[in-house]
Structure 1
Amino acid sequence: MVKKKRNSANPLSQLFGQNGIKVLLGLVATGSFAIAFGQEKIQQLVSMSSTSNSACLDQFYREVPPYLVRESLHKNSFPMCFNGFNVMYSGISKTPLWVAEALTPTRLSQKIPREDNFHEETRVPSEYRALLSDYKSSGYDRGHMAPNADMPNKAAQLDSFSLANMVPQAPKNNQQVWRELEEATRAIVTKQKQDVYVVTGPVYSAKKLKTIGQGVIVPTATYKAIYLPKKGVAGVYYADNTLRDTAPTVKVMSICALEELTGINFFPELTEDQKRNTYRLPLKATQVKANQDIAYLHWDAESQCAADVAEDKILSLQKDFKSSGGSVGETSMASSGNDNNQDALVKQLIEEILQYLLQILK
C-alpha cells in the first residue's frame, strides 16, 4: 500500500502560494513602515487638514477675526491660518498686522521642548515675503508675535517660526520685556484656570519708519491685547520698540486706545463699554495669583474706539479664513496651493512605501 505523501507546506503557502506569502509579508511590512518611517509625514497631513476648515476660527473670540477698519491696511494684506494661531499678514510691511490665538489651560498643559526653525513663509508671494537675510546683521531680533511657548504641538511650534509670525524687535524688548509679558499672559491661563484670547502685533506710528533688509518695516511699538471672557477683563500691553539698548517701559492701555492708534477693531464682538474698561494687567508671571482677581485700573473716556463692523463684512472675513485653509491671496490660489502641498506629501509617502515593498519582494 502506497502511503500518500504528507503535505508539510505552511498553511499560508497553501492559501497564497510562495508569491502570495511575499505579498502578505510585504503588506505587513508596509504597514509597519507607514507607522514608523511615515509617522511624521502622516502627522503633517493631519496638521495641514486641521487648519483647512472652520476650526481655524477657534482662535478668535466668538469666532470673529479682528477687522482692519483703516482702509489703507487692506492693501496687499492676506489672511493666513496656522496651527495654533492666525495671522493677517501685510505685504507692505512684510510683517503681520495682527496675530490671534486662544490660550486655554488644556493647551498650555502641553510642554513642547523648543526647537528653533526660523523659515520664510513660501505661501506668501515672493514680492511680499520677508526673508531670513532681511534680519541678518540688522540689529533686530526675529520677534515672535504668537510665541513658541504657547504652542501645543510640534506642528504649531514649527508654524510659529514662520517669518509671517515675526516683526523686527529690539533685543531688549524681545528678550526681556516681551518675554516677561508672554510669561505673565500664560500665568493668567495656568494659575487662574481661565481662557484668554490674545491679539498681538506691531504699531507703525512714526512719520518716518525704519526698514531692514529688502523693505521689512521696523515697528515703533509692539502690542498684546487680551480678553478674559470668564471675568470680563480686557486691556493692552504696549511696549516701545525704538530703544535699541534700553529696556522699554510697558504701558497698560484700553483696547479703544489701541484701536485709535492702529485702525483695527481687535474684538468686534465686545461692546464699546467693555473696550473702554482697563485693568491692571500683570507685567510678570510672579504678579499673577491663583485666587486674586486682576484689579480694575480706569475707564478710558478719551480714546476713539474703532467703528462697529457690519455683519456682512464679518461673514466675508470669516469665509476668507475658512476657505483659504492657511494660504494667502485669492481663495482659488490659496486652495490650490494647499492641495498641491498635500498631494506632494501623499505622493512622496506612497513612493517611499512602494520602494520599501519592492525591497521586501526581491
Structure 2
Amino acid sequence: MAKKKSSSSNPLSQLFGQNGIKVLLGLVATGSFAIAFGQEKIQQLVSMSSSSNSACLDQFYREVPPYLVRDSLHKNSFPLCFNGFNVMYSGISKTPLWVAESLTPVRLSQKIPREDNFHEETRVPSEYRATLADYKATGYDRGHMAPNADMPNKAAQLDSFSLANMVPQAPKNNQQVWRELEEATRALVTKQKQDVYVVTGPVYSAKKLKTIGKGVIVPTATYKAIYLPKKGVAGVYYADNTLRDTAPTVKIMSICALEELTGINVFPELTEDQKRNTYRLPLKATQVKQNQEIAYLHWDAESSCADEVSPDKITALQKEFKSSGGRITSDTGSDASNNNSSQDAILKQLIEELLQYLLQILK
C-alpha cells in the first residue's frame, strides 16, 4: 500500500513554508487588487502627471516652442520648463537664448507681492551655470526676461528669480525702459482683455562681446517679441543694452528682422506674412486704451525670415520640454503643492487599502 505523501514534499511548502505561501498568494492577489480597488485612483495619478507635462507647452503659441535655427546655438543648450514660463538656456552665454510666456487676463489678475530670491539654476550642470558671484559688482543688473510681475503664484515667482531667467542688463535699460515695456505688454492684456504670447531674450550682435564673472556674456541688446492672436498684431521691442547715463532708445521691428538677428524662429506657427507685418506697439502702459486698435506701422520687405521648422523637429522639441522636469502649476494662482497633496492623498489611500487586503489574505 502506497504511503500518503507528506505535505512537506510540496515544493512550494518546502520553499516558503505555510506562511510563505500566504505571502506569495497575497502578492499574486495584488494585481487583482489594483484592478478591483485601485484602477480609478491609479488612472487619476496618471492623469495628473500627464496634465503637468502638457501644461509646460501652454506657454507657447499653439504649444510650439521657439526653434533655434542657427546650428551654433544648439551647443550646450538646455530646455527648461518653469512655472509660468519656459526657457532655452545656453551654457555658452550662461544666459537664456529665449524665454516664453503666455499672458492672459486671468493670469494677470493675480497680484503677488514681490519677494526677491535670486538663485542659481541647479538643473543646469555647474560648468554651464551662471552664479550669483558672476553678477556681483559688475555694474549690470540681474535682468529678468520673464518679469516677476507677470507671475501668477508664489511658485512661479520663485522660479522667475532663477539665474536661468536672467541676463546682465544695463541699469538704465532694466530699471526704466524695460520696466515700461513690460508694463505696456501687461496693459495690452489687462486693459484690452486679450491673450498675449511673449518671447523675450538677448541679442549678441557685436564682433567682440563683453563678459562678466566667469564667462557670462553681456548682450548688446534685449528683445521682446509679442503676438496677439485676437487682433493678429505682431512686433518686437528692441532696446540697446550699453552701459550709459541716459536711457536707451527703443526700436519697434518686425519678427522677421529679429529672426535674422538672432537665428531663432521665435513663433514657428506664424506665417511669413504675419512676421513681416509690424505694428506700432505701445511704449508705455498709459498709451494702451481699452477700445483702441494698435496702429499698423509697416511691411518689412527686406529682412530674411527664419526658415520653417519641420513637424518632426517641432515634435522632438516639444518632448524635450515636456520631460525637462519643471514644477508646473496653472495660471489661476493655485500652488504646485495642491497637486502634490492630492497625489499624496491618493497614494496613501491606495497603500492603506492594499495593506488591508493583504492582511485579510494572511489571516
For 1:62, the aligned partner's letter is R
Q: Cα–Cα, structure 1 residues 70 and 222, in superposed 2: closer, same or farther, change >3 Å?
A: same
* Correspondence 1:220 to 2:181: no
For 1:223, the aligned partner's letter is Y
SS at structure 2 position matched to 1:324: coil
List aligned pairs for 1:268-279, cutoff 5 A: 268-279=268-279
SS at structure 2 position matched to 1:53: helix
Taking the aligned partners of 1:164 and 1:239, their CA distance within structure 2 comes to 20
List aligned pairs for 1:147-186, cutoff 5 A: 147-186=147-186
Taking the aligned partners of 2:199 and 2:294, their CA distance within structure 1 comes to 19
Instruction: Name 1:307's counterpart in structure 2.
Output: 307
Contact 1:52–1:325 (CA under 8 A) maintained in structure 2: no
Taking the aligned partners of 1:85 and 1:318, their CA distance within structure 2 comes to 14
Q: Cα–Cα, structure 1 residues 93 and 49, in superposed 2: closer, same or farther, change >3 Å?
A: farther
For 1:155, the aligned partner's letter is A
Instruction: Name 1:145's counterpart in structure 2.
Output: 145
Instruction: Name 1:190's counterpart in structure 2.
Output: 190
Deviation string for 1:1-55 (max 9, x for gaps)? xxxxxxxxxxxxxxxxxxxxxxxxxxxxxxxxxxxxxxxxxxxxxxx97995111
* Correspondence 1:111 to 2:111: yes
For 1:240, the aligned partner's letter is D
Deviation string for 1:36-81 (max 9, x for gaps)? xxxxxxxxxxxx9799511100000000000000000000000000
Contact 1:51–1:81 (CA under 8 A) maintained in structure 2: no
Contact 1:51–1:326 (CA under 8 A) maintained in structure 2: no
SS at structure 1 position matched to 2:227: strand
List aligned pairs for 1:195-214, cutoff 5 A: 195-214=195-214
For 2:181, the aligned partner's letter is L
Taking the aligned partners of 1:56 and 1:120, their CA distance within structure 2 comes to 21
Percent of aligned pairs sharing the same letter: 90
Q: Cα–Cα, structure 1 residues 176 and 49, in superposed 2: closer, same or farther, change >3 Å?
A: farther
Taking the aligned partners of 2:77 and 2:186, their CA distance within structure 1 comes to 29
Taking the aligned partners of 1:214 and 1:163, their CA distance within structure 2 comes to 14
SS at structure 2 position matched to 1:172: helix
SS at structure 2 position matched to 1:257: helix
Kindly tell me the number of residue pairs found equivalent between the two proteins: 283
* Correspondence 1:71 to 2:61: no
Instruction: Name 1:258's counterpart in structure 2.
Output: 258
Taking the aligned partners of 1:67 and 1:55, their CA distance within structure 2 comes to 19
**Structure with max Cα Rg:** 2
* Correspondence 1:85 to 2:94: no
Deviation string for 1:299-320 (max 9, x for gaps)? 0000000000011000000010
Contact 1:51–1:325 (CA under 8 A) maintained in structure 2: no
Taking the aligned partners of 1:221 and 1:96, their CA distance within structure 2 comes to 13
Which runs of 5 or more residues in structure 2 are unaligned? Answer: 1-47, 328-339, 349-363
Q: Cα–Cα, structure 1 residues 166 and 251, in superposed 2: closer, same or farther, change >3 Å?
A: same
Give me the TM-score of the superposition, normalised by structure 1.
0.76
Instruction: Name 2:5's counterpart in structure 1.
Output: none
Taking the aligned partners of 1:197 and 1:121, their CA distance within structure 2 comes to 24
For 1:97, the aligned partner's letter is L
For 1:247, the aligned partner's letter is A
* Correspondence 1:125 to 2:135: no
Instruction: Name 1:62's counterpart in structure 2.
Output: 62
Contact 1:69–1:307 (CA under 8 A) maintained in structure 2: yes
Instruction: Name 1:333's counterpart in structure 2.
Output: none
Which runs of 5 or more residues in structure 1 are unaligned? Answer: 1-47, 328-341, 351-362
Contact 1:67–1:265 (CA under 8 A) maintained in structure 2: yes
Give me the TM-score of the superposition, normalised by structure 2.
0.76
Taking the aligned partners of 2:262 and 2:164, their CA distance within structure 1 comes to 19
Instruction: Name 2:360's counterpart in structure 1.
Output: none
Taking the aligned partners of 1:167 and 1:220, their CA distance within structure 2 comes to 11
CA RMSD of aligned residues (A): 1.6
For 2:237, the aligned partner's letter is Y
For 2:182, the aligned partner's letter is E
List aligned pairs for 1:304-343, cutoff 5 A: 304-326=304-326
Taking the aligned partners of 2:149 and 2:275, their CA distance within structure 1 comes to 27
Taking the aligned partners of 2:75 and 2:185, their CA distance within structure 1 comes to 32
For 1:241, the aligned partner's letter is N
Q: Which runs of 4+ in 1 moved over 4 A?
A: 48-52
